[in-house]
Amino acid sequence: MPDVKGEREGIVTRVYDNNQRNLLTTITDIEHEYHAIIKASLHSHVTHNRCPEAILVHGDGSQILRLWRSAPDGTEKGRVSKTDNDHA
């Protein structure tokens, strides 16, 4: 996400180990910290232990980037897919 200035929409994806101690609490705390930019999230199970998550975001690009970088230990950072809000 090289150009993060200004308003953006996107999806932050992560994959994490469901059995890692306190990881779900940490993820919930992080998502509460970024509640102003998180519009929705989707959690699924690939296996009992491996869980992907997609987080729909809308807000300042630098905040989205900070959310993405906040992935705790035990979490694969995943990707940020963004859209520009330019409808021209």
Q: Give the start-to-end residue ranges of the domains of the chain.
A: 7-84
pLDDT of residue 88: 44
Residues 59-87, mean pLDDT to the nearest whole number: 82
- What is the C-alpha separation between 83 and 88, in angstroms, rounded? 13
Instruction: Give the residue carrying structure tokens 């970024």.
Output: 34
pLDDT of residue 85: 61
pLDDT of 69 over the 50 cut = yes
- CATH of span 7-84: 3.30.70.1150
Residue 2: pLDDT band with limits 50, 70, 90: low
Residues 27-41, mean pLDDT to the nearest whole number: 95
3-state secondary structure of 32: helix
pLDDT of 1 over the 60 cut = no
Do 85 and 9 contact (CB within 8 A), yes or no?
yes
**Paired residues of 15 in beta bridges:** 52, 76
User: pTM for the complete prediction?
Assistant: 0.83
